Structure 1
Amino acid sequence: MNSQSGLSGWINTMGSILIIPAGFRLFVMVVHGSQEFNYYYVNETMNWTNAQAYCRSNFADLVTIADKEELKEILNNLTRENYSDAEIWIGLKDIHKTNGTWSNDETFTYRNWNVGEPNNDNVSCGTMYYHRNETNHNGTWNDCGCQNSQPFICYAVKGKFHALNKSMSWLSALEYCNSNYNGMATIRNETEEQNLLKYLNEINIWEKVWIGMRRSRVFGFWFWMNGDTVTYQNWANNSSEANQDNQNCATLDPNQTKWVMQGCAGPAPFVCY
């Protein structure tokens, strides 16, 4: 069996029998320091749970702080943007005594508690103090009630898109991305989509490009090939009608700024990570 037929068989099997529960994903957590991140300060007050939901919908999650160097970078970004003093939600939850967990399940090793903290008798959530005019801008942490209303910081992994202006079938494009990059591009939210559209505009690609989404022919749901949960969709057509037209793969159309279903065998440029 050649590699293409083997991969094709696996995809068809996956699309036929795999139902991914909402919010569940199997993955290997990459060491925090080996990835690059963008940070986003949201100057709007919410409780911790709503702040986390906002970050997960629009970026990756509430910010995780792995070491003092990352803390310094975040504080410097806040100062550079001239933000006012604030107590800011970070991704710490389930705090009791000196314990706690990060909302993205990274190991909780680095700590920067304010003097006397944590001191909440109830399980609580974590904030970071930002003082613009102090030498080190403070950056210490506090535990407080998760229903408090605070601004917050989100993060997103810097994804580097690689568009290939050569036409292939969806399966061939997937194999090419897997062999030469880190898989075919995933669009998890509107921010990532706008970044990809901007990139395609910069390199003058205006025709539809394959992205890493496939439809189950049996169950009818769409899934990302890297296992990401489908939380954001932006179809130009009715995705529920794909089965009758045998349009089971997805493209991004820079002209419509929408996703378009296509038959997987048709040739198109494509985008890898």
Structure 2
Amino acid sequence: MMDIILMILVGFRLFVLLVHGSQEFNYHYVKEPMNWTNAQAYCKSNFTDLVTITDEKELQEILNNLTKENVSDAVIWIGLKDINMTNGTWSNGETFTYRNWNKGEPNNKQIACGCMYYHRNEVNHNGTWNDCGCNNTRTAICYAVKRKFHAVNNAMIWVSAFQYCNSYYNGLATIRSGRDEWHLLKHLNETNIQEKVWIGMRSSMIFGHWFWMNDDPITYQNWINDTSEGIRDTCFCTSLDPNQKKWVRQACAERASFVCYTDN
């Protein structure tokens, strides 16, 4: 019966910037100057946090969008905090790996906060970072996660979880990138869910391949076990193990909590 069911189911002025190329985030330029702490509080209250920049492509996209939105030259708060000469952390908790310091920076002997230079008329618009005094007043860039996750701490079989998410949200969660997964795992931690949770991927009984139930393309996978063999003629579903931070091939009739999603 389960297999049959699954086969059937197959206040401040803001400049809103263009959606991130991976469709993960919206960016928001906050024109009202404020200190770093107040800028972060504003971003967390209205969006997700001050912007986190993880690679050159993302940085250039943000700078190009500032140009398209006709932003003037500015020194803008980003989500770097606790900067001490050579290090720092992202305010949302992401690992600090990509760096784009201005020449000679960081050089502040006091604990500082991160700001970014934007020069409208330069070819690459600069985009380098400085360790600024946190009490200075500057404009800021916030980001908002485009896909919101909603954990449901109520154990169900996969098909019941699927039906629940379709009834109350957009569907069972899909994971399109490592950063998507990072935000989902953070949400599970904040909701104190430590056991495996259903997500919206299952296998095809006929062809044996995996697919997202909402027809999202599979652009990212993070399996703990081998999924290449033994799934034809048998339907498996997918759970995310927050302890191992990996996906698990699991019998759909097992019971687990689950994660739904909504798109903004």
TM-score category by the smaller chain? 0.5 to 0.7
Q: How does 1:209-228 map to 2 (within 5 A)?
A: 209-228=197-216
SS in 2 for 1:230: coil
Relative to structure 1, is the Cα distance of residues 175 and 138 closer, same or farther in structure 2, using a 3 angstrom cutoff? closer
Letter in 2 for 1:41: I
Cα distance in 2 between the residues matched to 1:184 and 1:73: 41
Cα distance in 2 between the residues matched to 1:167 and 1:128: 51
Relative to structure 1, is the Cα distance of residues 138 and 209 closer, same or farther in structure 2, using a 3 angstrom cutoff? closer
Relative to structure 1, is the Cα distance of residues 86 and 195 closer, same or farther in structure 2, using a 3 angstrom cutoff? same
* TM-score, L = length of structure 1: 0.52
Cα distance in 2 between the residues matched to 1:272 and 1:40: 25
Q: How does 1:63-212 map to 2 (within 5 A)?
A: 63=62, 64=65, 67=69, 75-77=76-78, 81-83=113-115, 85=117, 114=121, 127-130=124-127, 157-212=145-200
1:40 is aligned, of 24, 49, 52, to 52
Letter in 1 for 2:8: G
The count of residues paired between Structure 1 and Structure 2 equals 189
Cα distance in 2 between the residues matched to 1:74 and 1:221: 49
Alignment-derived partner of residue 142 in structure 1: none
Alignment-derived partner of residue 249 in structure 1: 237
SS in 1 for 2:207: coil
CA contact (8 A) 1:130 1:138 kept: no
SS in 1 for 2:181: helix
Q: Could you tell which deviates more after superposition, 204-213 or 237-246?
A: 237-246
CA contact (8 A) 2:196 2:256 kept: yes
Q: Please report how far the alpha carbon of residue 256 of structure 1 lies from its aligned counterpart in structure 2 after TM superposition.
A: 2.3
Q: CA RMSD in A?
A: 4.6
Q: Please report how far the alpha carbon of residue 159 of structure 1 lies from its aligned counterpart in structure 2 after TM superposition.
A: 3.3
CA contact (8 A) 1:163 1:270 kept: yes
CA contact (8 A) 2:202 2:235 kept: no
**Contiguous gaps of at least 5 residues in structure 1:** 12-26, 56-60, 88-112, 118-125, 140-152
Summarize deviations over 1:76-106 as a string: whole Å, max 9, x none: 337984346466xxxxxxxxxxxxxxxxxxx
Bigger helix fraction: 1
Alignment-derived partner of residue 97 in structure 1: none
Cα distance in 1 between the residues matched to 2:9 and 2:180: 28
**Contiguous gaps of at least 5 residues in structure 2:** 11-22, 29-45, 82-112
Summarize deviations over 1:53-79 as a string: whole Å, max 9, x none: xx9xxxxx944457468x999933379
